Structures are given as C-alpha cells and as structure tokens.
A and B are shown apart, each in its own frame.
Chain A
C-alpha cells in the first residue's frame, strides 16, 4: 500500500444544534509515502482541522480515516496518544519550543516522552541538529536563535524519533522568504523518504515548488489535487 493516509468522506463538525458548524464536509484525500503533500487553501477552509484530524488530535465526526494503516476512530485515547508519540512528527507554525530548554533538549523531547535516558536522547538530538547545520547552537535557548534556526530545531524534534508521518502547520509563515525557502529545502532533503510521508498545511504559494502533490481545499472540501511533475503541475483529481 502506497498511501500513508486515506480519508474517505471525512466530516468534522463543531458545536451542536443551532450552533453546529460543519468544517469538513466529506473530505476524500490521500497522502502518499515518499512524498511531500501540501494542503492549501484560503483561511478558514478547514486545512488545520483536517490536519488535526489526520494527526489524531481531533476525532472525525463521520467518515473513514486510516493513518499508517490504523483506523484512528477505533483507538482509545491512551492508544491514540501512544500512536502519535511513535508514528507522528509535528512542526508547528509558532515552533512551540520550550523556552527553558536548549536546542538539543527541545529536539530530544519525543525521546524523553518515550522514556529515553536524558543523556542518550540529547546525544541523538545533537547528531540530528548537526545534520541540520545547527551543531554550533545545540546549547542555545530558543530566544537566542533566529526564526530559521528555531524552525530547524522544530524539524529535529519532529524527526528525532523517526516517525512515518510528519505533519507541518504553516512551517514558513513566521519566516522571511529566503529563510522559508531554505528551511523547506532542508525539510525536503531530510524528511522525505520512501517509508515516510510529509503533510504540509500552508498558504504560502512561494514554497509550492517543494511539493510532490498539492491538494486544494475550499469550504471544507478537497476541490482539486495536482501532482508536481518536475516543475509542471498536472491535475490528477
């Protein structure tokens, strides 16, 4: 199976009765291994909600959702947390690094959460940060790092436990154009592997060339999917 994520008629509503808001209105969408898939669309179209549902942070109201071969709807809360910890890597818009921890300690958090010894976890984090070109800043706190450097620490945190699905929420929105371009290039080089899928939510069209596949979303539905064929976008669905 080549699909890391399979969404079929996924619905997500918030609120009840008169206050009910239908955010996802039957989404059909796949994310493939070995690809970087972009989920794009205007603000409020449901991108982040779909990302949260795929990441197991929100439960779908209806529809079928399989992530890495697992039906998330049937996972109890504890199992869902464990599933996320083992299989998912997260990159957040605002980085969400812990200000009291160094770059290496921040990157080591998924391993610490999995019960790793602190020293071993930090050693591994240092190795990854070196791969990301931050070997000289491993002891720096987030407030001592530039935006691009913080995002690279966030990448290290997302990848350190070798997840099979990496989800990124607006990874370049807090960065200038050059830095955004640079970190996306880096993300593509280190994150995309045959056994891993990367899902990026963005509205930053400048980074679209980094996508293997782009799913356009509008008003709670996937409206169009394009595949990047060596710089040429071709409509596939």
Chain B
C-alpha cells in the first residue's frame, strides 16, 4: 500500500506543494534564525577563540565578559609570572579607539595590543603582510573589514596609512580575524604602541594571557593564580562560555530569536497540520472505501504517517537547502562573517520538523481511525 499512499499524496499537486512549502518555510525560518543566533553568540567570544597561543585568561575578579574589563596593573603581571606552574604570562590590551581614513571617513575600532616580544594573541590567518612588521614603530595590522571600510573596493595594499587617535599609523598586515559582536574593524598592534594610541590612563592592561607549564593542568594553573594573586583566572573555553552566557542572560537577543523560532514552529505546525487535515478529510471517502475493502487501521495509519514523513523529509530538505544556500551566498560578505549552518542546527531543525509532521498528522490519523467504514454506503 506504500505505492497507494504515495500516489494519494502526490496526486493533488497543489496540496502536496502546499504541504512541502509549509514545512520548507518553517525549516528555513528555524534553521536560519538559530544559525544567526548561534553565529551571533559565537561572535561575542570570537576574539577569545582567535587567541590560540594562550590557554589561560587572567582578569579582574569582577569581570563578567570579554567586552567590559577593569584594567590590571603591571604588578599583577609580575605576580602571575611568579606563580609556580605558569610557563609564561603576557599582557593583552583590548580597547576601542577612533580611526580616520585618508578621505576623512572615521569609525570606531577595536584595538588589540599584543605582547611586544611574542605577539601572543594574534590571529593565525594573515591575508597579506607579516606580523613581524609590527616591530616597526607606528604600525598596525587591520582586519579585512577595517581595510574594506577605509579603502572600499581597492586591492589590499600594505603601507597605506590611517589616523589613529591623531597619530598616523601604517598598515603592515591585513588579517582574517573572526567577526566581533559589534562588527567594528579590529586593529592589532604591539602592547606598548596600543597604550600610546589610546592615551594614558593609570592602568591599561585588560587581560593577562598565560600558559600552564608542562605537567600542570589548566584548571590547576587557574586555581594557583587565583590563590596567589586574588585575580580571576579561567581557561579560554570557560571565558568564552562566560561571555556567551552574559549576552544570553543580559540582552534581549535570545528572547527575540526565541520568539521568531517559536513562531516558525507554530506556523509550520498549524499550516502543515491544517493542510494535511484538509487533505485527509477530502480523502475520507477513499479511506472509508479502503477500510471497507479490508485495509486495516494499522496499514492506513502507516500510510498517513508515511505521507507525513515524505512531506517532512522533502520539506526539510528544501528548507535546509535554502538556509545552506543563504549562508553560501553570503559567506564572502564581511558583515555576515561567522554566520553559518552548523550540523547541530541541522539536527535540531530535523527534530523540530519531525515534531511538526507528527503533530500535523496526529489529528488526521485520529479522524481516519475512528472513521466507520460503513460511511461509504451513505450517498
């Protein structure tokens, strides 16, 4: 009867396509919005992820997330270096400044100050140039977003200059860094240069990056630093999740995305359910005839569920392809960096679509199961 179920489903093209598109739209909306949400949350901690040399982040004990810090003192750095089990520790500056291009166009930028001698904290992917050129005075490395903002449409060229807090700085490298949450350009320079670019405050050291000595676990190293200095020391991964959770708990982002996802789920279920129900009701006489002829309820339920699964699978395939196509088309858009379709999102959406088709077919199944086959003899 598989064949009969398939023919019944596809025989009415309009309803079949209506069901497919209801599921596809729902799939697209859910997977797209969840992907954007995940990408956005990932952006909040992307600069932590970009630091690959250091496994430990040390900061003021009251620090809640990456973008709001209280500066540490030079003394803190020396105390951390003195903790047993710490292989090395270097300063990291993270702040904001304002850059001005040759045509006078200006924009706030995120300025990262890397340890002068080791450049620990620099992203690995260099599009053009060399990190070592930062050893020269008044030099910066800019990310692609920054370069394309100040020099739109122009080929990547090293040696060009920008004004950074009234100082002329030379671009010596163009790098591919992860997109930050606020999507501002990211400039990298040496720690000592960064302090000069932003002007003097009493303390400017945002973080200390450190690495545990061989044989000492990260957790143990964090505990020792906290005990010895009173500062907060966490692994990069833990700090990334702290930052993500800060945004989840303290912004309206999850609620807004959650509402959209819930709407997609409800609309998908209602539209698919209603269309599927109408489809079943219109075929009620036929189902009654099948029951009279001797098709069991079990077979008819299997037929309906098979129809629902086909609709779900095709609709899901179409919807997830639309989402994949969206991220494929926009992958080179610098403003949308970091947004992609994750396998976890695909799986989660598949589970949601499964739920939709089960709910959508439930009412239809019930209607057919209670259908009295004698109905076929009523004109």
Contacts and interface: CB of A to CB of B under 8 A. Distances in A.
Contact of B4 (A81, A86, A112): A112
Interface residues of A, number: 33
Contacts of A169: 376-377
B289 A92 contact: yes
B1 A113 contact: yes
Interface of B: 1, 3-4, 7-12, 285-286, 288-296, 299, 372-374, 376-379
Given A98-B286, A101-B7, A112-B4, A51 B377 contact: yes
A75 interface: no
Q: Which 6 interchain pairs have the tightest Cβ spacing?
A: A100-B11, A85-B294, A96-B289, A57-B374, A52-B374, A100-B7
24 contacts: A48-B377, A55-B292, A57-B292, A57-B372, A57-B373, A58-B374, A78-B296, A82-B294, A85-B293, A85-B295, A90-B292, A93-B379, A94-B379, A96-B285, A96-B286, A96-B289, A100-B12, A101-B4, A105-B4, A112-B4, A114-B294, A118-B3, A169-B377, A170-B379
B203 to A, nearest CB: 77
B294 A96 contact: no
B141 to A, nearest CB: 65
Nearest to A92: B376
A63 to B, nearest CB: 17
A99 interface: yes
A129 B113 CA distance: 86
Interface of A: 48, 51-52, 55, 57-58, 78, 81-82, 84-86, 88, 90, 92-94, 96, 98-101, 105, 109-110, 112-114, 118, 157, 169-170, 173
Contacts of B289: 90, 92, 96, 98
Given A55-B292, A82-B294, A110-B294, A92 B8 contact: no
Contacts of B295: 81, 85, 113
Contacts of A81: 291, 294-296
Given A94-B285, A101-B7, A84 B377 contact: no
A230 to B, nearest CB: 32
A98 B288 contact: no
A51 to B, nearest CB: 6
Contact of B294 (A98, A113, A173): A113
Given A48-B377, A112-B3, A113-B293, 13 more contacts: A58-B372, A81-B295, A90-B293, A92-B377, A94-B285, A96-B288, A98-B7, A98-B286, A105-B4, A109-B4, A113-B1, A169-B376, A170-B379
Which residue of A55, A81, A86, A173 has the most chain B CB atoms within 10 A of its CB atom? A81
A105 B286 CA distance: 14
B10 A100 contact: yes
